[in-house]
Amino acid sequence: MTIFFSCSSICKSYALRPLFKDVCLSIHEGDQIGLIGPNGAGKSTLLKIIAGLERADSGEVCPKKGLKIGYVPQVSEFDDFSVKETLIRACSNSLDEYEKEYLALEWLDKLKFENGEMSAQKLSGGWKKRLRIAVELIQEPDLLLLDEPTNHLDLEGILWLEKFLQQEAPTYLLISHDRYFLQHTTNRVIEINPIYPKGVFSIVGEYAEFLEQKEQFLAGQVEQERSLASKARKEIDWLRRGPKARTTKAQSRIDNAQEVLSAYAEVKGRNVQKCAQLDFHGSERQTRKLLVAKNLWKRVGERSLFERLDLTLSPGMRLGLVGPNGAGKTTLLRMLAGEISPDMGTLKPADALQVVYFDQHRTQLRDEITLRDALSPRGDYVTFRGHPVHVNGWCKRFLFSPNLLDLPIGRLSGGERARISIAHLMLQTADLLLLDEPTNDLDIQTLETLEESLLEFPGALVLITHDRCMMDRVCNGVLALGSSPEGAMFADFTQWQQMQAKQIQSKEAMQQPSAPVTAKNKTGLTYHEKKELDGIEAKIEKQEADIVQWHKMLESAEVSNDPQKLTEIGTSIALAETKIEELYLRWNELSTKQSADRTNAQ
């Protein structure tokens, strides 16, 4: 298996803040890797080092010679060209203009763009993400790197991306905290986390397998700590004995005692898993109806978002809002928060209703202000549940070291800044929580803690999130917007998913196959398939020539008397013969497809 990229013992720090040290990993052809880890562990920085955009402080970075890497950052911006022109500009200069045109049209179809002439600069965040992925893939990279590719995508976009990556990107490494997405798109999972001896834990397999092996590894590490604790107690007892008892002891015994104590301290430190303490302060009022919405209507220009919408929010209700981008989810949340009014209908809140609203765009904190000012803007203390809490203790609650309090927040990761926003919410007492995409940038451990907190919240909750795992686990009701003017209520997320699957199957059954994008002299083969077919014969000849050379080497005395070389050459011949068989099968598949299309065309 070809190694595309490897690195060993790489370290990276920013000022006095270490991100990771002694990280070693390799990426092979065909790897579909999910990179996870706590916020601030350096995942995005590692991705940039692999892409060649940043340098490691130390260590060795070894990409394959001539390796082409595509990099998709968390946020993508474009110049004011059309979507089609943006794709054409991304094509290789070795292509003719008509080939670039054809490729752009082909990718517009794959991306589901209905209008290729619209400005790329004016696209929504989700469509910019699609376009940026296509811009990278149209250049045919060997390795694709994606940093939080599901951010800004709605549920429909995430499902599309899952299928798209499987079809179009054979080798990629992506950073994601979306657990369902990781399960469906990866065949290998790597976690960067100081809880592991080398700071990295990697398994080949799906995300569910990773969780099982991680649990087993950490359980073994706990047992290791217990064993070392017993040894450490014996060594401490020996060291505490008087000088007379130790006069005959060898220096090696003292050295061994220090090694045991050091190993015990290291394992014990790794086994202390820190977790953000998230606890939303509910008023626990017993009012049966916290907020009643009757006959709500809302239009944007000539388009109706929802009509005749009725909704009652009571304590213990955890309602998820789903629907495509533009269906009115955020608009409805802002309406429930009292920020905007309905065009028609009434909203009746309970007396003195306390509403806490988390905006997906979050109040932007200036990069230059310190973590201290961001967490505690009114002094050294915050008031939580009626009690003063010093900023040192408050920052620890959200996994920040007090040593970082004077650090500008511009140096924090997106997930760390998200924790600051949640810290602000927790200082407010709430009857009703309105959360618009609270999961963006949060690491998996914090997501799980947030889910537990929301499940324990005594008031009502209305939640917008593209995290299917959170929606599935937390919500006991789902309101789907966009499917009908009044919206549609479902008992839970699973019921809504089942309805969606049935609608998609029904739609596909009713639709006739759409006509392919037309282009001059176009056959049924795509551009890439035609290019692949044209190159298969040369690949077969190359493999056959290699086999001939290896057989000649087997006849030499040097090789015939060396068992290791005999094994290596025999393995190479077997792999080459297998590759030839695969190439012939692929050649037959593409040739049959080409012939069938020509027959149909006649």
Whole-number pLDDT of residue 570: 73
Judge whether 596 lies within some domain.
yes
8 Å CB contact between 142 and 5: no
CA angle 196, 200, 202 (to 5 degrees): 110
The pLDDT assigned to 250 comes to: 63
* 344 and 453 assigned to the same domain: yes
Q: Would 89 be classed as within a structural domain?
A: yes
Which candidate, 212, 148, 210, places its Cα nearest to that of 181? Answer: 148
Q: Evaluate whether 589 touches 597 at the Cβ level (below 8 Å).
A: no
Count of domains observed in the chain: 4
The pLDDT value given to residue 434? 94
Residue 110 has pLDDT above 90, yes or no: no
Q: Please give the span between the terminal C-alpha atoms of the chain, in angstroms, as a whole number.
A: 43
Q: pLDDT digits over 46-89, tens only?
A: 999 999 999 999 999 999 999 999 999 988 899 999 999 999 99
288 and 415: one domain?
yes
The pLDDT of 254-278, averaged and rounded, is: 75
- String of DSSP letters for 461-488: EEEE-S-HHHHHHH-SEEEE-SSSTT-E
Q: Indicate the range of 24-33, 46-55, 179-188, 325-334 predicted with least confidence.
A: 325-334
Question: Which of 364 and 437 is assigned the larger pLDDT?
Answer: 437
Query: Domain boundary at 195, 226, 256, which?
Result: 195
What is the tens place of the pLDDT at every residue in 168-208? 888 999 999 999 999 999 999 999 998 888 889 999 999 99
Of the chain, the percentage scoring pLDDT greater than 70 comes to 89
Q: What is the predicted pLDDT for the residue at 515? A: 45
Average pLDDT for 253-269: 76
Ranges of beta strands (E only) in 228-353 are: 281-282, 291-300, 303-313, 318-322, 344-349
Q: Are residues 233 and 302 both part of a single domain?
A: no
Least confident range of 3-7, 28-32, 399-403: 399-403
What CATH number is associated with residue 544? 1.10.287
**Strands ordered across the beta sheet of 318-322:** 355-358, 432-436, 460-464, 318-322, 477-480, 488-490
Is there a domain that residue 186 lies in? yes
Q: Where are the alpha helices (DSSP H) in 272-413?
A: 329-336, 371-375, 391-397
Q: Which residue has the tokens 């350096």?
A: 42
Whether 421 and 481 map to the same domain: the answer is yes
User: What number of helices (H) and strands (E) belong to the chain?
Assistant: 19, 22
Q: Report whether 320 contacts 481 (CB < 8 A).
A: no
**Same domain as 544, residue 426:** no
Q: 125-137 vs 83-90: helix axis angle to the nearest 10? A: 30
CA distances (Å), origin 423, targets 63, 69, 279, 299, 396: 41, 38, 9, 34, 11
Instruction: Give the residue with greater pLDDT, 69 vs 248.
Output: 69
Pick from 169, 195, 221: which residue ends a domain?
A: 195
**Per-residue confidence (pLDDT) for residue 344, from 0 to 100:** 93
Pairing of strands 303-313, 460-464: unpaired
Domain end (from 165, 195, 225): 195
Q: Give residue 89's pLDDT.
A: 92
Given pLDDT bands bounded at 50, 70 and 90, which one contains residue 148?
very high
C-beta separation of 103 from 134 below 8 A: no
Say if 206 falls within a structural domain: no
pLDDT of residue 176: 94
CA distance 126 to 159: 13
Helix (H) or strand (E) holding 60: strand 58-63
Q: What is the CA radius of gyration of the chain?
A: 29
Given a cut of 90, whether residue 326 has pLDDT beyond it is no
Token reading at 66: 């001539």
Please report, for the domain that includes residue 295, its CATH number: 3.40.50.300
Instruction: Please check whether residues 548 and 417 belong to one and the same domain.
Output: no
Q: Backbone phi, then psi, for 509, in 5-degree steps?
A: -70, -35
pLDDT at 7 over 80: yes
Q: Are residues 324 and 456 in the same domain?
A: yes
The pLDDT tens digits for 440-454 are 778 888 888 888 888
Residue 337 lies in a domain: yes
Say if residue 101 is in the same domain as residue 224: no
Locus of tokens 């005692």? 257
* C-alpha to C-alpha distance for 415 and 38, rounded to whole angstroms: 9
Q: Which domain holds residue 36?
A: 3-195
> 527-555 vs 563-601: helix axis angle to the nearest 10?
150
Do 307 and 408 sit in the same domain of this protein? yes
How far apart are alpha carbons 429 and 353 in whole angstroms? 10
**80 and 27, same structural domain?**
yes
For residues 248-261, average pLDDT: 70
Residue 15 domain-assigned (yes or no): yes
155/46: higher pLDDT: 46
Out of 120-124, 138-142, 221-225, give the one with best mean pLDDT: 138-142
Average pLDDT over residues 125-151: 91
Residue 509 domain-assigned (yes or no)? no
CA-wise closest residue to 267 among 226, 230, 225, 233: 225
Lowest mean pLDDT among 89-98, 261-270, 307-316, 460-469: 261-270
The pLDDT value recorded for residue 441 is 78
> How far is CA 524 from each of CA 50, 106, 140, 586, rounded to the nearest angstrom?
37, 12, 20, 16
Question: What does the mean pLDDT of the chain come to?
Answer: 84
Together in a domain, 586 and 438: no
For residue 514, being part of any structural domain is answered with no
List, for residues 403-433, the tens digit of each pLDDT value.
Answer: 889 888 888 877 788 888 888 888 888 899 9
Residues 6+ apart with CB under 8 A from 65: none
Token digits for 352? 């003195």
Q: Which residues pair with 464 in a beta bridge?
A: 321, 436
pLDDT band at 516 (very low <50, low <70, confident <90, very high): very low
Q: Does the pLDDT at position 594 exceed 60?
A: yes
pLDDT tens digits for range 467-509 = 999 999 999 999 999 877 778 889 888 888 888 777 767 766 6
Do 227 and 286 belong together in one domain?
no
Q: Which of 361-370, 489-498, 537-546 has the lowest mean pLDDT?
A: 361-370
Contacts by residues 553-561 (CB-CB < 8 Å, ≥ 24 positions apart): none
Residue 345 has pLDDT above 90, yes or no: yes
